[in-house]
């Protein structure tokens, strides 16, 4: 019992020895007179950073090309495009629209400021790290992009078709 009493006495002594809290008006005056001024971020910078509570705002990327129902012939060059840069790296891959299976990677490293990629529909990489390639077969596909930051969710294109090359 004596130990508990001693602990309570120590806490009470500590509280009694603290300086009194400043009233709000005095605190504001003391802050204004401080030798180190505090400059808040301009509203434009806050909006640019879009940070609330330390968490980065979600950046929504929309794939704008290929368009829904587009038909791209195997072995032809087409532009895959999206509405804005993600600000982080990512990967782009071809997905079978019917089964949801990944067919292969179109681009293994999407750059932070990139907004388009010219792709020859002839082939894809075997994985996000394997430079070996495989042929693309005719079918219905979507293109999916994934990013390295948790605040940039994956983006998926509209379904489109890769068709057999036209005879020349």
Residue pLDDT tens, the chain, 168 long: 454 544 444 444 444 444 444 444 444 444 344 343 433 444 443 344 444 456 789 999 999 999 999 999 999 999 999 999 999 999 999 999 999 999 999 999 999 999 999 999 999 999 999 999 999 999 999 999 999 999 999 999 999 999 998 766
Instruction: Give me the residues paired with residue 125 across strands.
Output: 105, 133
Using alpha carbons, select from 100, 114, 87 the residue that is nearest to residue 159. Answer: 100
Domain ranges, residue 118:
63-163
In-domain check, residue 123: yes
Evaluate whether residue 18 is within a structural domain: no
Tell me if 45 is assigned to some domain. Answer: no
> In the structure, how many helices (H) and strands (E) does the chain have?
3, 13
In a domain, 37, yes or no: no
> Is 87 among the domain residues?
yes
Which tokens belong to 3? Answer: 């130990």
What's the longest Cα–Cα distance across the chain? 100
The verdict on pTM exceeding 0.85 is no
Query: What total of structural domains would you count in the chain?
Result: 1
CA distance 138 to 158: 17
In a domain? residue 55: no
From CA 86, how far away is CA 63, in angstroms rounded? 12
CATH code for position 134: 2.60.40.10
3-state DSSP percent of the chain in helix, strand and coil, to 5: 20, 35, 45
Task: Identify whether 99 is part of a domain.
Answer: yes
Whether 85 maps to a domain, the answer reads yes
């Amino acid at each position: 019992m004596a130990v508990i009493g001693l602990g309570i006495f120590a806490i009470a002594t500590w509280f009694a020895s603290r300086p009194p809290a400043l009233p709000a008006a005095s605190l504001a005056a003391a802050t204004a007179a401080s030798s180190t001024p505090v400059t808040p971020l301009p509203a434009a910078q806050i909006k640019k950073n879009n940070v609330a509570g330390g968490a980065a705002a979600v950046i929504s990327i929309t794939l704008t090309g290929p368009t829904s129902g587009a038909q791209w012939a195997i072995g032809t060059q087409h532009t895959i495009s999206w509405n804005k840069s993600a600000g982080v790296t990512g990967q782009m891959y071809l997905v079978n629209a019917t089964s949801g299976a990944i067919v292969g990677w179109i681009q293994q490293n999407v750059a932070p400021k990139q907004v388009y990629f010219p792709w020859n529909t002839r082939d894809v990489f075997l994985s996000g790290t394997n430079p070996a390639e495989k042929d693309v077969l005719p079918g219905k596909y979507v293109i999916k992009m994934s990013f390295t930051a948790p605040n940039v969710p994956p983006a998926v294109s509209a379904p489109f078709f890769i068709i057999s090359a036209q005879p020349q």
